[in-house]
Chains A and B, each alone.
Chain A
């Protein structure tokens, strides 16, 4: 009889992010209805679903940029009442939908502002240089306004900027949106790399095929409800569901 709580406890310990009974509101309109999900340390979890399913609302509520109710626990701390800035300082970082690079800042400044919360200035500067080496195209445009970059380049910059704060969990919102297939592949390769290095990732994607390749576990949202969850294999086995929701042939 005492075994069950112990198991739960151990589960809880490995859950970096745990969301319970989460509802998200825009004004009076409820767009996400009491959903539960969690992300284990070092894993990659995908939130999938069609347009308007509430994926972006959910991910936004984790950083507190939309109003929500319910519990959001990060590293065993209730963060649901914290300011956005405090949540970032705890180690949550986002590469948002639409990328939102600071188009009037240079590439370098975008990375620099990404490291705003860090105290180890020197290490951060080295890291900026390392990122610029990783993406030679960004290095070439180091001092150019980020608004002049192509969509794919902006996406790389956004992810790099998000990582500059040395987050414990990285939220990726539609990283492939609007990108050419070749670029999309590069983006997912980068995410794969990050995962291999042990980064905890919460991924929101419409491109379920690619997302499922990456994800250890997925939740499927529709109209603000979790309608299915499981490993990629389990999800792919529910072929009908997938095709009807995401248009992906199983």
Chain B
């Protein structure tokens, strides 16, 4: 029983990380139909910023955290400006390829400018200490990460429900042109979406670094692939779908790791994806696919 509770908590914390990253993908996709694979490199920028700040002898963790998050936001906005704005009205494939290209270029820049190998960044270790609840053991990091994800979701929902910009972003996910016809600047809405995705990437970077204690060029790319799967299964473009998909993927991964006999262990991912495939047969658009219907364009 304790073991089941323990592994359930582990699954939750896996899911929280996927959900956090998936949200960053979903918020951009919902507005721009852009699968931003470069989101991982925005996370990596957060990590490399922490590395640079540590070398520059910044000690205060709050300043390092703020610096990393700020760097991620600026990076997200910068990428939107130089890479994604020129292809904003191109079809989805062009956007996808652009994002892949940007991701590849950035990974190799990290590799050439910093190092192909992991570089230690231990300034976030302080977030991680063991907590024992009877026979259950969790890490403070698991709690922080799950809490941060939940708070991020809550604040995001509040923002999207209560602020004009948030409402405009929701509206834009359905009918961008009509939002412009309300006099709301397209650039502002898109920049807001990228800034939020950058913020989420920055937060994710803090937790990833706190756990891994090192940065390397693929720091963000691998988690983003997982988050992409989470978005697909949850329903691409749906924010609740991204969160649900993230937690579902976390549960599936931990479940398969624990339940599969060792001799089938190499098939873990195959089983995870088989289950996801079955879900997609049942709901081809993902579990919580966002509303698609649009009025006729003018």
Contacts and interface: CB of A to CB of B under 8 A. Distances in A.
B181 A65 contact: yes
Given A113-B164, A116-B164, A116-B168, A103 B181 contact: no
Interface string B162-176: 001001101101110
Interface stretch (B67-75, B92-100, B260-268, B289-297): B289-297
B177 A65 contact: yes
Interface stretch (B129-137, B142-150, B182-190): B182-190
Nearest to A64: B180
Interface residues of B, number: 25
Given A85-B185, A113-B164, A116-B183, A100 B170 contact: no
Contacts of B167: 105, 109, 112-113
B106 to A, nearest CB: 31
Interface in B184-204: 184-186
A10 to B, nearest CB: 31
B185 A98 contact: no
Nearest to B179: A113
Contacts of B184: 85, 113, 116-117
Contacts of B183: 85, 88-89, 116-117, 165
A97 B296 CA distance: 7
B281 interface: no
Nearest to B168: A113
Interface string A111-142: 01110110000000000000000000000000
A223 interface: no
B173 A100 contact: no
A63 interface: yes
A99 B174 CA distance: 13
Interface residues of A, number: 33
Nearest to A61: B298
A102 B181 contact: no
A159 interface: no
B180 A85 contact: yes
A84 interface: yes
B14 to A, nearest CB: 30
B127 interface: no
Interface in A33-63: 56, 59-60, 63
B256 interface: no
Contacts of B293: 103, 147
A83 B180 CA distance: 9
Contacts of B295: 96-101
A124 to B, nearest CB: 11
Given A99-B295, A113-B179, A161-B182, 16 more contacts: A65-B181, A84-B177, A84-B181, A88-B180, A88-B181, A96-B178, A96-B181, A98-B296, A100-B295, A104-B170, A104-B171, A112-B164, A113-B164, A114-B182, A117-B182, A147-B291
28 contacts: A56-B298, A63-B181, A66-B298, A84-B180, A85-B185, A88-B181, A94-B298, A96-B181, A96-B298, A97-B298, A98-B296, A100-B178, A100-B295, A102-B171, A102-B175, A102-B178, A103-B293, A105-B170, A109-B171, A112-B164, A113-B184, A114-B182, A116-B168, A117-B182, A117-B184, A147-B293, A165-B183, A173-B298
Interface of B: 164, 167-168, 170-171, 173-175, 177-186, 290-291, 293-296, 298
